[in-house]
Structure 1
Amino acid sequence: MSAAAYPPPRADAPLVVFDFDHTLYDGDSGSHLFAWLIRRNPLRVLVALLATPLLGPMVAFLPTRRRGISGYVWIGSFGVHRVREFDRVIDRYVAAHRQEIGRRLLPAALEVLAGHRAAGDRVVVATGAPPELARAILGFVAHEDVPVIGTAVGPRWGAVVATRHCHNEEKMRMLRERGYGDIDIAYSDSTADLPLLHAARRPVVVNPKHARVALFRRVLPAGTPILNWGCRDRGGDAVAG
């Protein structure tokens, strides 16, 4: 079904929020993009290797994650001075890796996404990746018109950096600012999205890490679905087909 074939969302329709990485896309799309940006230049590779003892732990630790990610974004985008220019680089990356990226889109997830759209639900994607990246990838499967809220970037020191990371509580603040506060259903793989899952009337966990399944069962309402939509190295109950 083409994007034009979906009915416009009803004003009173349920609001459905999808995470992107490990939810609609098998993997971390932002990491794949930034790795490609860094690998394009041997000097960037060297700088990234030298910076990883500092940046790696920052990315792993929630309070410093935005700064760690910004460091890698800066290394990969050095020489890119405007957000529009960075978006064009993203579009080139997606076009050059179309087959590989297309294989990472999860058919079971896309079927659920399309079902909500066909029902006239209001659907939004909220992701820690740059929004242009998610939009470009969703364009492969006629969902490029779905609103996307993602990590904001801006120019700094001769490159671009993450200025606002769409992650954890900040993701909820960014959703509310755009008028997406009254959430009926939320789909996510990550414990970082517990604020989103708690805010939803019907949370759905998809493709969680095996080690996180018990935590989700403990902190989310009894009966919350914990599903696997096709990530082979992740947990959750397999979906038929």
Structure 2
Amino acid sequence: MTARFPEPSTDAPLVVFDFDHTLYDGDSGSHLFKWLIERNWWRRVLALLIAPVAGPMVAWLPTRRSGISAFVWVGTLFLSKARLHRTRDFNAVIDQYVVLHAAGIRTRLLPVALDVLHRHREAGDRVVVATGAPPELARAIMAFVAHEDVPVIGTVVGPKFGAIGVVRHCHSHMKMTMLRDAGYTQPVASAYTDSSADLPLLQAAQCPVVVNPKASSVAMFRRVLPAGTPILNWGCPGRSGDPA
């Protein structure tokens, strides 16, 4: 059952959590699309064929949306014959994935992170998850596995060349734009993320907190964020940060 928390007031402090490597140990979108691609042998072959081009695109920020979109397209090609309802069908497949993998997903949710999220909700803060994953994925995981009913802002997908592609990637500066477009216009009180791509979010926050960063990013975070910014590890193996 979902825990009961105070209803945030319109002027409550805004608290933004990233999802992957922040609340969830790993890249939830990659796990979903790996499952989608591995359903059919021809999807696996097609993914291997595009990987030499799309893989490096994912690794480079300016082309990341296009690279991710290519793998999303492979995973959702011929997903449904109902063209006008394909995004809805895609969300239904996401829900199916979460139900089928609930036990494994539960082990990836980070207890320390969920405790911090709970404390903010208990304090009456306005908590939102902003993620590069499809919003239905994070929403389903939070609701079905973690029993949390927090709002989610995520990457928008839509019909593309007979499948699904990325329309608007909730990433870097676009994450801030999408938060504002969704009505979260007040100053960000606290922000939690692992990603250097989320610097716009961290720099906008009155209290930025870096969690589970890559070791190679720690020096950069210390250089560009205010002195004393916490850099913590919430139990994410292979990532850096001071023990929580």
**TM-score of Structure 1 vs Structure 2, range by shorter chain:** over 0.9
Query: Can you list the C-alpha shifts for 1:172-207, whole angstroms capped at 9, x where unaligned?
Result: 100111122320000000000000000001100000
- Residue number in structure 2 paired with 1:35: 34
TM-score, normalised to structure 1's length? 0.97
Judged with a 3 Å threshold, the aligned counterparts in structure 2 of structure 1 residues 147 and 5 are, in CA distance, closer, same or farther, namely same
Say which of 121, 125, 131 aligns to 1:121: 125
In structure 2, stretches of 5+ residues that fail to align are none
Alpha-carbon distance in 2 for matches of 1:74, 1:6: 39
Q: Give the C-alpha shift of residue 3 in structure 1.
A: 3.2
Confirm or deny that 1:225 pairs with 2:201: no
User: What are the superposed Cα offsets for residues 51-104 of structure 1, whole Å, 9 maximum, x if unpaired?
Assistant: 100000110111111010000000000012411000000001111101111100
What's the counterpart of residue 194 of structure 2? 189
2:140 matched to 1:141? Answer: no
Question: Which amino acid letter does the alignment assign opposite residue 44 of structure 2?
Answer: V
After superposition, the Cα gap between the structure-2 partners of 1:236 and 1:4, relative to the gap in structure 1 and judged at 3 Å, is closer
Partner of 2:47: 48
Structure 1 residue 156: Cα displacement: 1.2
Alpha-carbon distance in structure 2 between the residues aligned to 1:50 and 1:88: 28
1:166 to 152, 163, 170: 170
SS of the residue aligned with 2:136?
helix
| 2:205 equivalent in structure 1 | 200
TM-superposed CA distance for 1:12, in Å, is: 2.0
- Is residue 93 of structure 1 aligned with residue 106 of structure 2? no
Shift of 1:4: 5.2
Secondary structure in 1 matching 2:188:
coil
Q: Deviation per CA, 1:108-135, whole angstroms, max 9, x where unpaired?
A: 0000001101111000000000000000
Alignment deviations for residues 198-222 of structure 1 (CA, whole Å, 9 cap, x no partner):
0001100000001111110000000
Question: In structure 2, how many angstroms separate the alpha carbons of the residues matched to 1:32 and 1:166?
Answer: 18
RMSD: 0.9
Match of 1:57? Answer: 56
- Measured in 1, the distance between the counterparts of 2:94 and 2:71 equals 15
The residue number in structure 1 matching 2:110 is: 106
1:180 to 163, 184, 194: 184
Match of 1:5, SS state, is: coil
SS at match of 1:3: coil
1:152 paired residue number: 156
1:11, CA displacement in angstroms?
Answer: 2.1
| Distance in 1, Cα, partners of 2:4 & 2:214 | 35
Shift of 1:142: 1.7
Scaled by the length of structure 2, what TM-score is found? 0.95
Query: What letter is aligned with 1:12?
Result: D
Opposite residue 68 of structure 1, the aligned amino acid is G
